[in-house]
Amino acid sequence: MPSATTGFWTPVALSRDLPAGTVIPARTAAGSIALWRSASGRISASADRCPHRGMRLSHGFVRGETLSCIYHGWSYGQAGNCLRIPAHPGLTPPETIRVATHDVEETDSVIWVAVGTPASKPPKLDGFTPLRSLTAFAGIAAIEAAAGAKANPDGLVEIEASTGTVCLLLSAWEDGQTLIHVLLKADTDPAAGIDASRAAESLRRQAEGLQREIAQ
Ligand code: FES
């Protein structure tokens, strides 16, 4: 996967999996985040821990342009600042109450979150159509071994399905698992999606088998 001393972008989710007004958990090599899209469509990536009592913000809810914690309802804006404390409706929350945020970009129907401070924008994935995401209990090295190919600098590995080439976009987690986004080439017949999905699942099984052998 791409890396640099200043930081890198990691593909945490597909756009289709984050409709407006929702929050989902996501992960990067730096830890857990609450990924949310406001009612107007703006995406934010917040640390997945409420500054009040530590509840996971990915268990919360989105109202309008804010993310609220499920526990006591503290609400946060896109920049991470606390906007409202329901138990103290007349109080303007101090600036010091804020949740850490990460830079986020949405491009080519993929949502990328920055780990550190990347020197450039996320890679372009022109010519691909995202299909689905799946999690592998295997590291990138095991996935590359199963695929018989190395990931390119953008984190893409190509595998062959019976209906054509399928691209896998890889994102490593801190616990050794890998999130795999399955991408179809734009000129692929959409009906090939089932075949591509099966090919990705087969590769995952192989990679997980290799990972178990490595661990023994
Ligand atoms: S723990 Fe989040 S509002 Fe209390």
The reply to whether 7-116 and 128-215 are identical in fold is no
From first to last of its 216 residues, the chain has per-residue pLDDT tens of 444 458 999 999 999 999 999 999 999 887 899 999 999 999 999 999 999 999 999 999 999 999 999 999 999 999 999 999 999 999 999 999 999 999 999 999 999 999 889 999 999 888 888 999 999 999 999 999 999 999 998 889 999 888 778 899 999 988 889 999 999 987 777 678 889 999 999 999 999 999 999 887
Fold of 128-215: Alpha-Beta Plaits (3.30.70)
Residues with CB under 6 A from ligand 1: 50, 52-53, 55, 69, 71-72, 74
Long-range contacts of 124-128 (CB under 8 A, 24+ apart): 125/154, 125/169, 125/183, 127/185, 127/186, 128/167, 128/183, 128/184, 128/185, 128/186
* Residue nearest to ligand 1 atom 3, measured at CA: 72
Residue-level pLDDT at 4: 45
Q: CATH number for the 7-116 domain, one of 3.30.460.30, 3.30.1490.20, 2.102.10.10, 1.10.10.10?
A: 2.102.10.10
Q: Which of 59, 72, 97, 98 maximizes ligand 1 atoms within 8 Å of its Cβ, making it the mutation to test the pocket?
A: 72
Question: How much distance in Å is there from the Cα of 212 to the middle of ligand 1?
Answer: 39
Domain ranges of the chain: 7-116, 128-215
Angle 25-131-28 from CA coordinates, rounded to 5°: 30
Cα of 104 to ligand 1 centre, how many Å? Answer: 24
For ligand 1, atom 4, which residue shows the shortest CA distance? 72
pLDDT of residue 58: 98
**CA–CA separation, 90 and 118 (whole Å):** 40
In what helix (H) or strand (E) does residue 146 lie, and over which residues does it extend? helix 140-147
